[in-house]
Structure 1
């Protein structure tokens, strides 16, 4: 960990304990490169909307940007998490860590019957996701694929997209978190949403995971295997890489 600040100041033990013990709030996570972030406007909008829903008041984007810039100091590349926590009066925590890159190998996923509460909010308390992700690792997979009544929802910590037989992008139609990277890709690439059932994932030619860390292919879902070198994934990566990033300050 490089540094943590709460409301622009040092994190006291009392304030950290309050956030840990309450375990109530919301957050967003982003990758900063050269003090720029892809989809920064979407991150700020996410925080504002979640804050209105959980606390009944907005969260000004310029205020959040200033907190991020202050926490970064002279750091230019980092993984940044903005956490809004507290039961009554929310505080804003900014955690700055070394930059993160996506896995270098395609991921193997195992479907599990689990959906996050209040799925459209990126909220605190990811016990279920972490638990199923850990269980997936113990079973020889890389992560879990969350499903509801046999319908694919999302990855444990990422949106999942599928490729149809023509290489088009298909997003599951379900109650998921509308991830920032997913939103950016929807702006750049023709795509559609449809109900994807876990028993039918074999009818797609491939799949990928998308979150703030980036993109990674999926080589297996349960006993269905996908080719690791699908050119459709290269097109998605190229579209994502071409998206300009916004300055933090």
Structure 2
């Protein structure tokens, strides 16, 4: 069950649900013991997107207050939490919707990706216009895959439908240099690993030794992209996981 609060008030059937309006944005995170990795990055993401979409910034202290309140009301200190932002025309401040549900605790497993020709609109924003992503995921799932890999018309790899993707060339972690959402996990990991950004193409995926995906739920090795198969590089995954585990948990 999902616990939902709108501007600090528990949502009921009689309340209007702002999330039905897809002109908005959000951020998603895992909470452990009332703490979050990269809370500053989440708040900066929310503030930056709000300024771009609505021309005004967010009260970051209020966002944290709403997050703490929702966790307390739900009775959870470990949780999967999302903050959605809308700004109805004429209102003095943004509407903040916070959803809380049980934490994601499934152990990572190798995932299979299916390439899908699609590039998100305004990909640098974690916005709510996700029909294209959902369609890509549906196509991948129907074909027996775990995730969709979004590819531009010229064959450039951009990102996963709900993940960032990285490739291992034996020396460096290669993050695709293409329009995409900078996920919080990627933003935390990139400076901690021997990373480089460069153009990655679908035709060139066979030249990499391994790959992995990241999102708010964690890190998973990639077993294959279409017909290109990868062995799980245990040393690489241990290094990536160790780097991620070294990131401190911030008090909300």
What pairs with 1:59-78 in structure 2 (closer than 5 Å)?
59-73=58-72, 74-78=75-79
Q: Does 1:162 align with 2:171?
A: no
Structure 2's unaligned 5+ residue stretches are none
Equivalent residue number for residue 8 of structure 2: 8
CA 1:86/1:61 → structure 2, altered by over 3 Å: closer, same or farther?
A: closer
Q: Is the 8 A contact 2:32 2:77 kept in 1?
A: yes
Q: Is the 8 A contact 1:25 1:87 kept in 2?
A: no
SS in 2 for 1:122: coil
Structure 1's unaligned 5+ residue stretches are none
Q: Equivalents in 2 of 1:192, 1:229: separation in Å?
A: 19
Q: Does 1:210 align with 2:209?
A: no
SS in 2 for 1:171: strand
> Could you report, residue by residue, the CA deviation over 1:87-127 in whole angstroms, capped at 9, with x for unpaired residues?
42431000000001355321110111101111000000211
Q: Equivalents in 2 of 1:246, 1:69: separation in Å?
A: 13
Q: TM-score, normalised by structure 2?
A: 0.93
Q: Equivalents in 2 of 1:99, 1:198: separation in Å?
A: 34
Equivalent residue number for residue 41 of structure 1: 40
Q: Equivalents in 1 of 2:221, 2:106: separation in Å?
A: 10
Q: Is the 8 A contact 1:25 1:123 kept in 2?
A: yes
What pairs with 1:65-144 in structure 2 (closer than 5 Å)?
65-73=64-72, 74-88=75-89, 89=91, 90-101=94-105, 104-144=108-148
Residue 190 (structure 1) shift: 2.3
Q: Does 1:147 align with 2:181?
A: no
SS in 1 for 2:9: coil
